[in-house]
Amino acid sequence: MGISKSSPSTCDGEGDRPQGGGGAPPSVADATATSPSQVDGEEQVGRVHINPDQYFDNVPALAWEFHIGGYQPAQKWLKDRKGRALSFDDALHYQKIIKILEPTAGNAKTRSG
């Protein structure tokens, strides 16, 4: 999962440096998730757009929709940065959040279901 551009991809893998228009870092305009799609059998993943041109790809729906104490951490983290440029470290940090939330959400779902 990395930040990608909608038209030719400037970041297509984890650890790649996020790029914005004209070499500027990507900024969070309004984070929205597209509908998750079926990938690899049961796993549902989707795109989280951070602005009209860039998105995090392959974000598990389980991580995006997961609630902790009334908050959805994957969504809140981006909303708290609305209007700011994301640094390379910010993008890596967000990827780590998603990677941590996915098994956490899966464990919570298993226990409650």
| Domain tally, the chain | 1
CB 33, CB 46: distance < 8 Å: yes
pLDDT in tens, 28-76: 877 776 655 555 556 788 888 888 888 888 888 889 989 999 999 999 9
What percent of the chain lies above the pLDDT cut of 90? 25
pLDDT of residue 112: 64
69: containing domain: 3-112
- How many residues are present in the chain? 113
Output the average pLDDT for the chain. 75
Helix H or strand E encompassing 61: helix 61-65
Integer CA distances (angstroms), 52 to 26, 27, 55, 107, in order:
10, 10, 8, 33
Give Cα 63 distance to the centre of its chain.
Answer: 9
Task: Say which residue the tokens 């392959």 belong to.
Answer: 58
Taking Cα atoms as reference points, which of 71, 78, 68 lies closest to residue 104? 68
Backbone φ and ψ for 59, nearest 5 degrees, come out as: -85, 120
Q: What is the DSSP letter of 36?
A: P
The first and second tokens of residue 86, run together, are: 């994301």
